[in-house]
Amino acid sequence: MAIAIHGLGVSGGIAIGRALLMSQATLEVSHLRIPAHMVAAEQRRFDDAVELVREEFAAMKATHAREGVSPEVLALIELHAMFLDDPNLVETPHAMIAERRCNAEWALVQQMELLVEQFEKIEDPYLSERRHDVVQVVERVVKELVGHAANPFEKLKKGVKEEQLIIVAHDLSPTDVIGFKDHHFAAFVTDVGGATSHTAILARSLNIPAIVGLSNARALIRDEELIIIDGTRGVVLIDPDPRTIEEFELRKKQLGLERNRLLRLKNTPATTLDNVPIQLWANIEMPGDVNFALENGADGVGLFRTEFLFLKRGDSPDEEEQYEAYKKAVIVMGGRPTTIRTFDLGSDKSLDTSRIPTNPALGQRAIRQSLTEPGMFQCQLRAILRASQHGPVKMLIPMLSHLHQIEAVLDAVDQAKTSLHQDRLKFDPNTEVGGMIEIPAAALSVEMFLKRLDFLSIGTNDLIQYTLAIDRMDEQVSGLYDPLHPAVLMLVAHTLSTASKAGVPVSICGEMAGDPVLTWLLLGMGLRIFSANPTHILKVKERILRADVEALTSQARRMLRLGDPRKLQEALARLNEDKD
């Protein structure tokens, strides 16, 4: 009988194959007392190991840049190299060896555990995921120290078809990612990781199934054991019986046919049955994602997250680096709008643990942080404006809540334009500036946004979190996270209707926009611009093509009057059943 284990599906699809277990580094190192006369030698041993790993990263980046590895994967290598330059991870263990007269491995692991503990307190999901990067860098240095560095692909057997192999690992590092470049595996599963993990990024770029956060998959699955991966449902089946295999082979074939059917909608305009045009935009993490967005028929980019440019290094990227990244995305979009969001993290972006706030979600983050660092903000504003000479660019400001913030942002944009004029650098002076509605206060006072901004984008992920006072990263309360809570729907509906009366365009760029179950409800509430993960665009488009907005509008109004979330769920189910 098959054993089922559940995790987070980060790349949909079904794979059936044999498990290939990746070796796992152990960080259970011994604590040794070093004689005083050997301290200097131990410090040199530590420094040599760090330098060896640093050189490996540099050589890896240079080699694979020539071979055409995607910029996203190379950026992950840069991120790991950046950690090796951080004093908290390198200099502190070096000093600890002398202060405590301990061995290098133990000193490094102790400091790693302290940093990981700090990262776990960070609420932002992308930044919290970076604790795994710290562990992976330390693992690599420890392997050098103990002499266990090895090629993860040595165990591949000759004659085995890689398309029939499923990678099973505790975690995957950028080094592993680079190693997969010339291989064609069926799927990936890992014990740890989230939607922004390396496994998720790689799997989505290769369009193969992947599940992360399985906790104990590597311990339960034996090497070469037959397993089934359902990346859509986040389920792994271990040692399935023939009947189960036959069932999933049929489902895999059906998914392939479904994907091919949806791809035929790629160039079909997203227009409802009653001729209401809808725009389908993509959320992207990095410049290279625009190709995938276009492959799925995106009409534009509704959210280009710029945090990755900042987090892949120890300092802030300069204007030229940012300009080149934004320019690349804008050019590839070929005249379609590209909405670039300014920096949306706080002072917790640093490995400096003394700067990590108790509750980053409510602290100095996003536009609050940008306005306190005008030099960094001007650098980004200038880079975004310069990119506008290559195609339509929209500038999106996150976490606005007060009138004085809006005014300060617009003043900063004017300052950036003036400086560009003085430097005789080209840009579109009519570049639109918009704001995110992700705080209840912003939704309730949306009129002041509409008078001063060119467009709005509702960030439903944070809006739900702040409205319901729920930490999305806390598993104990994550079950209370409810996009159909009446308060959430009231805030979304108020924003859409008020903006519509003012003639200001509004999009939704949160997970709600990519959920086909909610498409008809959102259309009825007045949403005309959906911005979602590229993998969801065609599914949403299919729902739009079968929608009658006039009928949905009256149904949505009735649903919004329901005060009970359970009744809302039932009404939504009936709405979708009636249209199916």
Contact of 230 with 210, CB cutoff 8 Å: no
| One-letter amino acid of 103 | N
Residue 513 Ramachandran class (φ > 0 left, ψ -120 to 50 alpha, else beta):
alpha
Extended strands (E) in 202-308:
210-212, 226-230, 235-238, 279-284, 300-305
Phi, psi dihedrals of residue 408, rounded to the nearest 5°: -65, -40
Contact of 72 with 325, CB cutoff 8 Å: no
User: How far apart are the C-alpha atoms of 449 and 157, rounded to whole Å?
Assistant: 61
Extended strands (E) in 377-418:
393-397
Contact of 428 with 463, CB cutoff 8 Å: no
Pick the catalytic residue from 64, 102, 170, 509. Answer: 509
CA angle, residues 168, 479, 435, in degrees to nearest 5: 95
- Alpha carbons within 13 angstroms on the beta-carbon side of residue 72 total 25
Distance of CA 166 to the CA centre of its chain: 23
Pick the catalytic residue from 80, 132, 170, 198. Answer: 198
Contact of 288 with 71, CB cutoff 8 Å: yes
94 is catalytic: no
- Angle between helix 486-502 and 460-468 (nearest 10): 130
**Interstrand relation of 432-437 and 393-397 (parallel, antiparallel or unpaired):** parallel
User: How far apart are the C-alpha atoms of 536 and 545, rounded to whole Å?
Assistant: 15
Helices (H), 130-241: 131-146, 174-179, 198-206, 217-220
478-509 per-residue burial string, b: 16 or more CB within 10 A, e: under 16: eeebbbbbbebbebbbebbebbeeeebbbbbb
509 is catalytic: yes
Distances (CA, A) of 432 to 77, 337, 426, 531: 34, 11, 16, 17
Which sequence positions are flagged as catalytic? Answer: 198, 509
